[in-house]
Structure 1
Amino acid sequence: MGSLTPPPSKILQISTSGTASQIGYSHGTLASAHISRSLAFYTRLFLKKCAMDWPAVRGFAMQYQPFLAANFPGYVEEMEGVAKGAGKEYADVLALNVRTEIAFGAFSDGCTAVSWRGSDRSYLGQNWDWDIE
């Protein structure tokens, strides 16, 4: 299992290790409330901005599954673990991860990313600059 550290900046920090499935499960367990809020937010957003209900978004997302399974099986295992840990269906987690590909051209947005490699570990952070919940 991993650990959850509530930093002063209110950005969720999760430290975990293990197989892709174990990392995903820890992530899903520790961030389940965040994942639920993301699902609720994107359900509303896709309906409002793209006229797609969540079942349609999930169906569209599953079209990426064969490509991901063939080319990035570790990512698929991690997303499956996230879904199990959060008590969600895999299609929901996949849809969150391919939301930009689904809505390409439908939204006007941007993101900020930062990475840093220390002597014994690496850090990666990203946000998505756009609508407020």
Structure 2
Amino acid sequence: MEFQNQRHTIDHMTTLKECPETPNCVCSFFKKDEKHFIQPMLFYTRSHAEKAFAQLPSLLIEKYNATLLKTQANYFHFVCVTKIFRFKDDVEFLLDDCVIQIRSASRIGYSDLGTNRKRLESIRNDLKKAV
């Protein structure tokens, strides 16, 4: 099962999966993992976070050519394909009050040369402009 190590209910996610040891993943949920840590997306109010969260599907599909795999009330799971080698990366967003937790991980390979981190920072900047 895809989410067997995660606490969740049927329609409400509560956590994101930790990154593997390989340097091809970043995640905001586990601050203690400094090698893979990326800052979450922080907002002043829950309504700002909800507005930004609601814009994620159109932003990722239009600008990042992503495919939406799974959606729940507070969770999106996309697949993005890298431009050069066409590798598939899993990109996840978890709305938690005034915060959007983020995770991006390559499905194969060892290093992503910073692609996952760059993608999430680009998405963060796009959302700042939109909200």
Common topology (TM > 0.5): no
* Greater share of residues in helix: 1
Q: TM-score, normalised by structure 2?
A: 0.30
Q: Determine which structure has more spread, i.e. the larger CA radius of gyration.
A: 1
* Greater share of residues in strand: 2
